[in-house]
Structure 1
Amino acid sequence: MSDEEARLARLRERIDQIDDDLLRLISERAECARDVAEVKQEANPGEEVAFYRPEREARILSRVRERNPGPLADEEMARLFREVMSACLALEKPMTIAFLGPEGTFTQAAALKHFGHSVLSTPLAAIDDVFREVASGNAHYGVVPVENSTEGMINHTLDMFMGSALKICGEVQLRIHHHLLRRPDQDEAGITRIYSHQQSFAQCRKWLDSHWPAVERIKVSSNGEAARLASEEEGAAAIAGDMAASLYGLEPAHSNIEDRPDNTTRFLIIGTEAVPPSGQDKTSILVSTRNRPGALYELLEPFKREGIDLTRLETRPSPSATWAYVFYIDFVGHRDAPAVRAVLDEIEAQSQELKHLGSYPMGVL
């Protein structure tokens, strides 16, 4: 045996030992998860027990990132732990997650990034359907897009919160890479039309204008639907992501065609229960103010006074009056923090309506 072969043999033996240790430790963690489920069920006989704790998982993933010694990147290490936690949680009770479908959309990718692959994911046709599925109890949580770094807010999602009792329980950010997809047997020169969602067309507008200015662009309900059509129709291509390409057997004719390389979409996790503090939280509210001079200043001044960081301010038409508006505000901090409570009490006293949409952990992955 050469020196190289001897060294490789020792390293492989060490890897086998480490793998055995990993198997044992993961199994021990799974047993602990089962014990947690038993303790919760014994303490709450006959009741619906909440096994998933968003703030607890956020703290674990943050701790993993902080203590990661390398050489794996922090996000990669957290992703591995995310899947371990997902599998262990499924031993307690598999969760059903509703998402804006069909399968192969970026929203499904965000759902799996946040919850792991051991959940039961249910694709739905519209954002309204996701809200209804969670409100009815048919799904434990839902995942909906709320903003894109290129195209701004998803107004439909914001408007749904006006009439819904659901709460925001978390957030996840997903880097969006768009590909021009085609069937393996489709010649690029024969492409006569491109399917995609209107947001994706907008995010790839400059690239399309430069490379495919004369090809028909057809808007459809989702990138998943665009990929499905491209897989079935001669002369068709789609703008979609990796998941859709894999699901429908397509291959990239051109990769990463988004106009901005940092193109990112933020998704919200919606559920029925309030989330305790995790230590790194955001809060979202809807505020309707009286129509008078200085109303917006009066709304925002308490945040400045208390040193609270606003991360998003949007205006939406009020459903209850013509030319009246509702402000959607995201800011750093949890509702239970004294400074945040003081600001919310002051805003509530001077506004027509204050609706607390949720305090939730900042996205870790």
Structure 2
Amino acid sequence: MDDELNLRLKPLRERIDALDTQLIALLNQRAAIALEVGEVKKHFNAPVFRPEREQQVITRLQDLSDGPLAGQHISAIWREIMAASRALEKNIRAAYLGPVGTYSEQAMHAYFGLSIEGLPCPSIDEVFRSVEAGAAEFGVVPVENSTEGAVSRTLDLLLQSQLVIGGELALPIHHNLLTLNGGLAGITRVCAHAQALAQCQRWLATHVPHLECQAMSSNAEAARLAANDPTVAAIAGDRAATYYGLQVAYALIQDDPHNRTRFVMMGKEPVGISGRDQTSLIVSVKNEPGAVFKLLEPLARHGVSMTRFESRPARVGTWEYYFYIDVEGHRDDAPVSATLAELEKKAAFLKILGSYPRAT
């Protein structure tokens, strides 16, 4: 059996080895050209990371491919190839909500590749501050969850900060109940970020109603606590379990099996047109009849599709709101540009958060 198996596999493996030999040579050629690109960028003081260009590269290759690799596989492979090339040009740092093992860290690696240097921060506020102060070139923050809705602190900081959104990622969220030994004997409380507790509330109420639930600054911080306290169970992902040496007592305990969190990538530089873009903005209107309708009417007239509309209290002691809006297209696209020009005249307040390649 083994001899026959090896006999049939041998020529296929030899073909793969031959292709790998060609691939490594081509990848090194590509990296060498990327280094030349880096030298040109240095001369013109241009940014190393151009998300619109990377999205164009990935989209082109997805369109060229006849399979069997799916588009998501091509995207994952080329993100890592481009990340390695970027690292040869310059060491780029991204701040994220830490500690190590959070979904924010996972989102950072999924978007920038494994070659990015991560800067874990104790709060979303510190992520913004780190990028504003120059401690990191980019920041990765959660902005909304498919189950629990918007992340309020991120929305507030987007309003206050001068940083711009340069990209987004929708990350599937798979929650596990983690303990030191993989069991629940001696466990008295479940620790996790408040959003994670809310996303698992039905499961917790059904399976461990006797355990106290305690909110933490992050799921990874809960995992770190569980690693040092045998009475604590943490809700976190696989990365946190591995990093902190925990065992999975129960897997996939999120109430919604399709649970996802949207992350945005913050930076100081605006992003050019990729051909598949989205623009985010914040507006407020005067307190008068029909004000919101008048505000949104230009979008319909110019054929601009709105994909998100979220309201947030202005916190000025009156019943006034800011509206967080996402529209399809780049701010430099003619229909979006015309719409924004009209909104600027009609709105009491308008802030463009950024135009960037939208998540697939």
CA distance in 2, matches of 1:70, 1:181: 38
2-structure distance, mates of 1:253, 1:174: 23
TM-score, scaled relative to structure 1: 0.95
Looking at structure 2, the residues matched to 3 and 321 of structure 1 have their Cα atoms a distance apart, in angstroms, of 79
Pairing 1:46-61 to 2, within 5 Å after superposition: 48-61=45-58
Cα-to-partner distance string for 1:41-97 (whole Å, 9 max, x where unaligned): 23x3xxx43111010011112223333333333212311111111001110111100
CA-to-partner distance for each residue in 1:332-357, whole Å, 9 max, x for gaps? 11101111111111111111121111
Corresponding residue number in structure 2 for 1:318: 314
Which residue of structure 1 lines up, in the alignment, with residue 198 of structure 2?
202
Query: Match of 1:179?
Result: 176
Instruction: Give distance in 2, aligned partners of 1:321 and 1:342.
Output: 33
The CA RMSD over aligned residues, in Å, is 1.5
In the other structure, the counterpart of 2:246 is: 250
Q: C-alpha displacement at 1:190, in angstroms? A: 2.6
Q: Is the 8 A contact 2:121 2:127 kept in 1?
A: yes
Q: Which residue of 2 aligns with 1:87?
A: 84
Task: Measure the CA separation in 1 of the matches of 2:176 and 2:5.
Answer: 42
CA deviations on 1:96-151 (whole Å, 9 max, x unpaired) are 00011111100010000000010110001111111111111221110000000000
CA drift of 1:38 comes to 1.4
1:117 is matched with 114
The corresponding residue for 2:29 is 28
Check the 8 A contact 2:179/2:230 in 1, yes or no: no
Report how far residue 319 of structure 1 moved: 4.7
For 1:148 and 1:85, the matched residues in 2 are separated by: 28
Contact 2:183 2:249 (8 Å CA) reproduced? no
- Counterpart position of 1:232: 228
What is the letter of the counterpart of residue 17 of structure 2?
D
| Equivalent in 260, 263, 279 of residue 259 of structure 2 | 263
Corresponding residue for 1:37?
38
Q: 2:289 aligns with which of 289, 293, 310?
A: 293
Q: Structure 1: give runs of 5+ residues left out of the alignment.
A: none
Letter in 1 for 2:144: E
Q: Answer yes or no: is the 8 Å Cα contact 2:80–2:115 preserved in 1.
A: yes
Aligned to 2:154: 157
- Report deviation, 1:2: 6.1
CA distance in 2 between counterparts of 1:149 and 1:3 reads 50
Alpha-carbon offset, residue 155 of structure 1 = 1.2
Letter in 1 for 2:26: L
SS in 1 for 2:185: helix
- Pick from 227, 237, 240 the counterpart of residue 241 of structure 1: 237
SS in 1 for 2:273: coil
**Structure 1 residues 283-315: Cα deviation after superposition (integer angstroms, max 9, x where no partner):** 011112111110010111111222221111111
Deviation digits for residues 178-206 of structure 1 (CA, Å, limit 9, x no counterpart): 0011113x532332211111100110111
Total equivalences in the alignment? 359
Distance in 2, Cα, partners of 1:301 & 1:88: 45
Q: Deviations over 1:272-293 (max 9, x none)?
A: 1111110000001111211111
Residue ranges of structure 2 left out of the alignment (5+ in a row): none
| SS of 1:39 mapped into structure 2 | helix
Change in CA separation of 1:102 and 1:5 when aligned onto 2, cut-off 3 Å: closer
Indicate yes or no: 2:358 matched with 1:362.
yes
Q: How does 1:88-103 map to 2 (within 5 A)?
A: 88-103=85-100
SS in 1 for 2:28: helix
Q: What CA distance in whole angstroms lies between the structure 2 residues aligned with 1:293 and 1:243?
A: 51
Distance in 1, matches of 2:87 and 2:216, equals: 34
SS in 2 for 1:51: coil
Moved over 4 A (4+): 1-4
The one-letter code sitting in structure 1 at the alignment partner of 2:39 is E
The percentage of aligned residue pairs carrying the same residue is: 48
For residues 66 and 183 of structure 1, what CA distance do their matches in structure 2 show?
47
In structure 2, distance between residues paired with 1:62 and 1:249: 39
Tell me what 1:9 maps to: 10
Cα distance in 2, alignment partners of residues 151 and 88 from structure 1: 37
For 1:277, the aligned partner's letter is I
Secondary structure of the residue aligned to 1:190 is coil
1:212-261 alpha-carbon deviations (Å, 9 max, x no partner): 11111111110000101111101211110111111101121111111111
Specify the SS of the correspondent of 1:226.
Answer: helix
Aligned partners of 1:136 and 1:269: how far apart in 2? Answer: 16
Shift of 1:265: 0.2
- Counterparts of residues 337-348 of structure 1 (less than 5 Å): 337-348=333-344
TM-score of the pair, normalised by structure 2: 0.96
